Amino acid sequence: MDTLITIARGALGVSAFIAIAYAFSSNRKAIDWKLVRTGLFLQMVIAVVVLKVGPVRTVFEFISSFFVKVTDFTKEGTGLVFGWLTEVPAGGEGVFLNATNPETGDMMSIATFAPAFAITILPTIIFFAAITAMLYYFGILQRVVYGFAWLMSKTMRLSGAESMSASANIFVGQTEAPLLIKPYLDKMTRSELLAIMIGGMATIAGGVMVVYIELLGGSDPESRVQFATHLLTKSIISAPAALVIAKILFPQEEKVNQDLLVSRDRFGANVLDAICLGTTDGIKLAVNVGGMLIVFTALVAMINYGLGDMLGEWTGLNGLVSNVTDGRYEQFSLQFVFGVIGAPLAWLVGIDHGNLMVAGQLFGERLVLNEFVAFFSMNQMEANGTLTDERTRIILTYALCGFANIVSIGIQIGGIGALSPEKRQDLARLGWRALLGGTLACFIPACIAAVLI
């Protein structure tokens, strides 16, 4: 009976998110419902095969272990640069670095040292960016992307360019994937452009995937492989999910080019040049991630000061919030507001009743701030005992795993617009619709995961 209820709730969630996309469609009569059904079926098949079929899951766990190994390899490089600062004593957990003094062996205070996030996690982005550039140079990445693109293009009858970009987003970021289809951008329809934008927001790049593995899996090797498998599965499922939502929000009405060709441009003059260029890009991304965390965490603190320490204290809202949430939220805050607004969406995704508020908070943080802040918060919730249910953490991993946030609108307009200046105005007009689509394309895989886990 519980299984039937779980399946029914998952179906309700998927139907609700499809209905939201339908409500905001530019032309409801032109929606290709056969494409929608095929795309949803493809997502469910991938999820079932990866999560439930033993041999396939073993293969994915093997691939996921590579992402985990990347973090271990990176520590060799960070150890050379930062020395004993990278050492974490046995049992040392948490967000920050717990280092020991090499002379006395005593634990040092956190105020003495930089956060572990900057020393042990951000360098992983740099190393993986270099590996990705090397794989791109040898043509390996393009071949893998072509395989996924061929599957979606043939089953969902999409243009070759949008299928290729959506497939590339499984491995690279929202501004890097369009490079594979740069020759086609100028002639793309708005429906195709929206598909590219939503695909970029609904998936994650490999460089940040390894960061999420570190945050979610901690120091336990098995847990890291588990979350790596879920993150990889979600990124793959989100590719057809993004195309389904895109074709509901903006149905394709014009004839499109179905040629499936990969750009032959190479990343660098030779393999060493490729590694150097990838490293440079990785440094830019790592600095960007670190800067975003600093700025947005500070902004949240500033807003919460106004909401809680000032407005909540003066009006008595702090006491009301504490009573309503049984002390989970001690004062009126941005997190509380996010929790209230996002709780209904969390229920549709499949989150248990006791965790609806915290899940809603994380949804709001991902949307308004970014996914790094949301995952960072979830990591802290797990550490302080606010969120200990493993199933909920996995479902939230699927729902939060994507670049669907307000900042990404500007990133896509600037990044894709630089590749095709003629389409810049179209990209700007489609920005908010892409944000909605990217969010829905993250929630639907989470619904499917909630049924299977």
Section 415-444 average pLDDT: 88
pLDDT at 264: 55
Q: What is the pLDDT of residues 287-311, one digit of tens each?
A: 776 777 677 778 888 888 888 888 8
Task: Write out pLDDT tens, residues 355-391.
Answer: 898 899 899 888 887 888 888 888 888 877 888 888 8
The DSSP output letter for 187 is G
The residue among 29 and 453 whose pLDDT is bigger is 29
Q: Which candidate, 397, 420, 417, 401, places its Cα nearest to that of 409?
A: 417
Regarding predicted confidence, which is higher, 75 or 111?
75
User: What does the pLDDT read at residue 25?
Assistant: 92
Read off φ and ψ for residue 392, nearest 5 degrees.
Answer: -65, -40
Is the pLDDT assigned to residue 1 strictly greater than 60? no
| Coil, helix or strand at residue 12 | helix
- The answer to whether 446 and 349 are in contact (CB under 8 A) is yes
DSSP 29: G
Q: Check whether 92 has a pLDDT greater than 70.
A: no
* pLDDT tens string 210-235: 778 877 877 777 888 888 888 888 88
Please list, in sequence order, all residues whose beta carbon lies within 8 angstroms of the beta carbon of residue 282, skipping any fewer than 6 positions away.
125, 126, 127, 128, 129, 130, 207
* Half-sphere CA count of 171, side-chain side, radius 13 A: 24
Distance separating alpha carbons of residues 344 and 310, to the nearest angstrom? 28
Grade residue 146 by pLDDT with cuts at 50, 70 and 90: confident
Judge if pTM exceeds 0.95.
no
What pLDDT was estimated at residue 333? 83
Position 442 scores a pLDDT of 92
pLDDT in tens, 232-269: 888 888 888 999 999 999 988 766 655 556 555 556 77
Mean pLDDT computed over every residue of the chain: 80
CA distance from start to end of the chain: 16
pLDDT value, residue 102: 45
Single-letter code of the amino acid located at 374: A
Residue 324 confidence class, pLDDT cut points 50, 70, 90: confident
Q: Examine the pLDDT at 318 and tell me if it is beyond 80.
A: yes
Give dist(CA 196, CA 149) in Å, integer.
13
Tokens of 442: 């993250």
- Please report the pLDDT score of residue 257 as a whole number: 58
Q: How far is CA 29 from the centre of its chain?
A: 32
Write the DSSP symbol of residue 405.
Answer: S
* Least confidently predicted of 77-81, 103-107, 227-231: 103-107
Two tokens, residue 108: 């040092």
How confident is the model over 51-62, as pLDDT tens digits?
Answer: 888 888 888 888
Distance of alpha carbon 304 from the chain centroid: 25
Whole-angstrom Cα distance, residue 109 to residue 90? 17
pLDDT for position 336: 85
Top mean pLDDT of 95-99, 178-182, 304-308 is at 304-308
Q: What percent of the chain has pLDDT over 70?
A: 86
Domain boundaries, the chain: 2-283+427-452, 287-399
With a cut of 70, say whether residue 48 has pLDDT above it.
Answer: yes
User: Sign (positive/negative) of CA torsion 404, 394, 231, 157?
Assistant: negative
How many whole angstroms separate alpha carbon 158 and alpha carbon 152?
7
pLDDT, position 177: 75
- Pick from 285, 254, 271: which is nearest to 129 by CA? 285
**304-316: buried (b, 16+ CB within 10 Å) or exposed (e) per residue?**
beebbeeebeeee
- d(CA 126, CA 281) in angstroms, rounded, equals 8
Q: Where are the beta strands (DSSP E) in 47-89?
A: none
Cβ contact 174:370 at 8 Å: no
